[in-house]
Amino acid sequence: MSALELRVAAVEPLSPLVTRFRFEHPAGAALPLFSGGAHIVVEMPDAGVLRRNAYSLISDPMDGSGYEIAVRREDAGRGGSRFMHTQVKPGDTLRVTAPINLFSLDLRAKKHVLIGGGIGITPFLAQLRQLTRLQMPFELHYAARSRAEAAGLALLPDLPQIHVHISEEGNRMDLGAILSGQPLGTHVYTCGPEGLIAAVDDTAARLGWPKGALHSEAFLSPPPGTPFTVTLKSGRTIEVGPHQSLLEALEAAEVEVNWSCRGGACGRCETGVSACHGRIEHHDHWLSDEEKAAQTKIMPCVSRFTGEMLTLDL
Amino acid sequence: MPRTEFSPSIASRPTYAPLRPHGAAPALMLADAEGAEALLELAAADPAVMDRAHLIYIPAGAAHGPRLRDLGAKMYHEAPSFSAALERYRKALLDAKMGTQLYLAGTEGLIGQGLAEALAAGLPADAIQSEHRGSIARRMQCVHCKGITENVTTDPFTCSHCGLTLFVRDHFSRRLGAFQGVCVDAETPGIVPEMKEIKA
Amino acid sequence: MTIRFNDETFRDDYTFHNSPEAIRRFPFPFDQDSYMYSVNLEPHAGGRAGSPFQNRFDVDEHYVAEMKDREITLAEDPLRCQSLPHMELAGWDFLELVMVSKSEDYPELFTLNRDGDRWHWINRPLGIEQRFTFLDPTTLPCGPMEYITRQTQGDHALLDQRDGNLWMDAGMVTSQADWSLDFDIGMNFYEWHAPVPKAHEMGVFQRALKFLLNLQQGAPVRRLNWTMTVNPRLDTSPENYHKWGPEKRTITPENVGAKQHLRVELQTLWRLPRSNAIAFPIRCYLMSLEDIVTQPKWGRRLHRVLRDLPDELAEYKGFAVNRPVIVDYLARFDDGADTSPGIFPD
């Protein structure tokens, strides 16, 4: 995993819960450009624990002068976002990965429809700039509960193709209306809570949309759960805490595992299971249903285990 | 004529499945010759499939026209050939909205061309259903002169444009809607294997 | 470093030749005495000094002649270079990658000056000087991919990534091992590899695809592939098969050493920044059997590999008909001694 050491250039609250961070190269060098929808993984040295969280880039993909992310504070989470909000100050140095895109635009599309819910607006902020630069037809729908929580408002340009839906103001997003009558060759991108993605999928299916035109990215952070133990080939055992992912526990024990998105989407950390006496709680979007049922593979970035013994091919 | 079962082949060779109705969704249907029977069965499974359908049929000598017309598609058109129907088909694709179902039925030549046009219009491949019926003749691109020879039933065959003797590959381009034909006697000019009928 | 560019041809009178230095640096593709498909990808992060792995885009003594040969092929058949409309951004990404790499790795041959989007490119071996606006195709004589690949050895494909697959949606292909860009453009990874025997069943393509979908910017990878070609011909396209095919049947025990060439592809794969596409340069190196056997290790090993290769692969690679003559010739250079590990000559 190629990493960049970047300086925190700016920290700016956008709403009570969401803060924007800007990173720049300490010597002012240009950073690798990226495509809309890309993310970086930020390393957070938090009191002896190394946390790594993935965040969508929200800055202009064609601008290498800096990277910007927007972080929503999740107090019930594992502590990564809390660290960003409470510990990170301008001038600090953080390690981030090179940009990776698991949610790119289909550049063949005749039109792009972007649907963002809550903090799920973030990948679209970069995609908007890419679409504008490429002069491609698009419309964007941004749904939030209240104006105060809608951190994206400060970041969205004032364009007729951009529609804001604030449910508290009675202006709920009507997916049926959005997905009806779109020209052939339209692609839809959804980012936000699982419920929003499921609602778009259901509405699209009802309207006869093919799956190939639907793209989504769930903001999947490793879910907490009950502690469990895994066994390695050597017989060594590793304890996984309630707010720790299996991947994090393996890393803390200095067991080498490949990773990239840390959100169950890219497949990089796929690990073989040689014995499973119990049930793997698969939380990923990578393994097929058959693979999940077989219990012979696990994605340690998001998935957990309950039962007697889980032996990994590590 | 029943649905054709093709022998297993390489990954680029298209496969076909029976058409399945998607209710009364807007639909574009393109069929030739015996492909009519696939549409008749589709409508029998769910008559609503015709409610908002635009059906284009190329009889090519088959006598299914009147029965297809009677299915009550919203628009019904008979064309003497694919090229005669092409501009109408393109306009239908241009005007179509997402959610439109595309049903292709008949020969591989028709399915291939219908598919290529639909993909170019932006329809994702998973929105397109195709069922093979009738002749197993193939639409072949000559890799040398780029000319397309329609209705190829033998292997090898003579390119109708440049005259080279070509063997019939299973390698298929969805963009061109054609299989690939390659010179069979390139290394040994004049030594041509015995001509055989193409098999399914 | 100065390179003396050969005055040579890859057709008609075939004056192509390798200098002694070019022979020593030839990317011999076999690291052991047998061959089977594998996902033999490794990081493309430099390599032995002087080897074709050292720089990001290898420029060697054949550069100028290869670009002339490409020009001839394109004039006869412009469809050898095609880009589906959505691939233009990937074309710019690739142009940038090549111009930046070559100007840094070969400053005496190539210069790139950039002032924002105003770029100035100098290619001394080909006598080209071009001022243009980055991302504005009207300021170049042709599309960005065509422009830069007319100046870069090897075939090049640009792969779009979507739906968990890679799609060959653009390319410059004039020195291919018998596949047609015009036919294959628009195909996904499994489709364009469909004619390759055995490898599908072995799961090679599934594993390779899984790996490539995760390819990261700044971390290119490479692999070697190979086939056999009669005469040092770059354009072994299916388009012209009826023209070069008869040459394949001219091999005799007397001429096999000079006429039969091992054709090696140095394939590299690069994640591109703005388009998220993958650039796939396929660089072709040719060497006659008589030049190969000047390195005793290579002579021994090539004999064993070709002698023991499964018939299906010899057929697919198109040299089954000449295999007996080739193996007989190479047997003379195989004394049965052990060979050292790795691809480099002793």
Q: Which of A73, A101, A129 is the last residue of a domain?
A: A101
Looking at residue C38, what is its pLDDT? 75
Which residues of C participate in catalysis according to the annotation? 223
Minimum-distance CB partner of A107 among C86, C217, C273: C86
Which run of H or of E encompasses A202? helix A194-206
- What integer pLDDT is reported at residue B4 of this predicted model? 84
Crossing angle of helices B82-95 and B108-120, in 10° steps, is 30
* CA distances in angstroms from C338 to A140, C26, C299, C300, C345, listed in the order given: 66, 21, 12, 9, 13
- For residue range C201-245, list pLDDT tens digits in order: 777 888 889 889 989 999 999 999 999 999 999 999 999 999 999
- A182/B contact by beta carbon, under 8 A: yes
Say whether pLDDT at A245 is over 80: yes
What are the sequence ranges of the domains in chain B?
27-132, 138-197
Q: Give which of A54, A4, A61 is closest to A29, Cα–Cα.
A: A4
Residue A76 lies in a domain: yes
Confidence of residue A243 (pLDDT cuts 50, 70, 90): confident
- Cβ neighbours around C294 below 10 Å, total: 16
Residue A106 lies in a domain: no
pLDDT grade for A219, boundaries at 50, 70 and 90: low
Residue C112 counted as domain residue: yes
Query: What is the pLDDT, as a whole number, of residue A261?
Result: 81
Q: C: neighbours with 3+ CB pairs under 8 Å?
A: A, B
Residuewise pLDDT in 10s, chain B (200 residues): 778 888 888 888 989 999 999 999 999 999 999 999 999 999 999 999 999 999 999 999 999 999 999 999 999 999 999 999 999 999 999 999 999 999 999 999 999 999 999 999 999 888 899 999 999 999 999 999 999 999 999 999 999 999 999 999 999 999 999 999 999 999 999 999 999 999 88
Residues A185, A243: one domain?
no
Burial class (CB in 10 A: 0-12, 13-18, 19+), A126: buried
Model confidence band, residue A299 (pLDDT cutoffs 50, 70, 90): very high
Q: pLDDT at residue C346 above 90?
A: no
d(CA C191, CA A238): 43
Mutation for A interface: B98, B103, B128, most A CBs within 10 A:
B98
In terms of domains, do A253 and A278 share one?
A: yes
A 10 A CB-CB count for A19 gives 20
Of A282-291, C143-152, C319-328, which gets the smallest average pLDDT?
A: A282-291
Contact between A303 and A280 (Cβ < 8 Å)? yes
Q: Burial of C102 by CB count in 10 Å (0-12 exposed, 13-18 middle, 19+ buried)?
A: buried
pLDDT in tens, C274-321: 999 999 999 999 999 999 999 999 999 999 999 999 998 899 888 999
The minimal CB distance from A186 to the residues B98, B125, B126 is found for B98
pLDDT, position C105: 97
C83-111 average pLDDT score:
97
Looking at the 3D structure of chain C, how many domains does it have? 1
pLDDT band (50, 70, 90) for residue C1: low
Give me the domain span that covers residue A187: 111-218
Residues C327, C301: Cα–Cα separation, whole Å: 11
Range B27-132 classified under CATH 3.40.50.80: yes
Chain A residues within 8 angstroms (CB to CB) of chain C: 1-2, 32-35, 38, 61-62, 98-101, 104, 106-108, 130, 134, 212, 260, 266-268
Strand partners, C33: none
Q: Residues of chain B whose C-beta is under 8 A from some C-beta in C?
A: 10-13, 141, 143-144, 146, 164, 169-171, 173-176, 180, 182-183, 186-189
Q: From the list B99, B123, B125, which residue is nearest A207 (CB)? A: B99
Host domain of residue C228:
37-252+268-289
pLDDT of residue A220: 67
Interface partners of chain B (CB pairs < 8 Å, 3 or more) are: A, C
Span A140-191, pLDDT tens digits: 999 999 998 899 999 999 999 999 999 999 888 999 999 999 999 999 999 9
Task: Read off the pLDDT of each residue in C11-21 and give the average, rounded to a whole number.
Answer: 97
**Domain of residue A270, CATH code:** 3.10.20.30
| Amino acid residing at A187 | H
The tokens of C117 are what? 């989007």
The confidence score (pLDDT) of residue A1 equals: 55
Are residues A74 and A28 located together in one domain of the fold?
Answer: yes
pTM confidence score: 0.93
Residue A218's pLDDT band (cuts 50, 70, 90): confident
Which of C83, C169, C217, C272 is best to mutate for the A interface (most A CBs within 10 A)?
Answer: C217
Sequential DSSP letters for C224-235? EEEEEEESS-S-
User: What pLDDT score was predicted for residue C2?
Assistant: 81
Q: How does pLDDT run across A20-79, given as a tens digit for each residue?
A: 999 999 999 999 999 999 999 999 998 888 888 999 999 999 999 999 999 999 887 778
Rounded to whole angstroms, how far apart are CA atoms A12 and A15?
Answer: 9
How does pLDDT run across B37-52, given as a tens digit for each residue? 999 999 999 999 999 9
Per-residue pLDDT at C21 exceeds 60: yes
A257: in domain: yes
The interface pTM score, or ipTM, of the predicted complex is 0.92
Question: What is the least distance, in Å, from the CA of B164 to any CA of chain C?
Answer: 9
Domain stop point among A101, A134, A156: A101
Closest-CA distance of chain C to residue B151, Å: 19
Q: Phi and psi (nearest 5°) for A297?
A: -140, 150
Q: What is the Cα–Cα distance from A51 to A59, expressed in whole angstroms?
A: 23
pLDDT band, residue A265 (cuts 50/70/90): confident
Which of B11, B170, B180 lies at the smallest CB-CB distance from C183?
B180
CA gyration radius for chain B?
17
Q: How many CB pairs under 8 A join B and C?
A: 65
Tokens of C133: 């606006």
The count of structural domains within chain A is: 3
Mean pLDDT of A225-235: 92
Which residues from A are below 8 Å from C160, CB to CB? 107-108
Domain identity same for A269 and A178: no
Is the pLDDT assigned to residue C59 strictly greater than 60? yes
Same-domain status, A64 and A133: no
Q: Residue A226, Cα to own-chain centre: how many angstroms?
A: 23
At residue A80, the pLDDT reads 86
Closest Cα to residue C279, out of C60, C63, C87? C87
Cα B143 from chain centroid (whole Å)? 20
Q: Which residue has the tokens 């698009």?
A: A138
Calculate the alpha carbon distances from A95 to A309, B129, C217 in Å: 35, 49, 16
**Residue A182 counted as domain residue:** yes
Q: Do A204 and A239 sit in the same domain of this protein?
A: no
| Lowest pLDDT segment from A298-307, C256-265, C274-283 | A298-307
C26: in domain: no
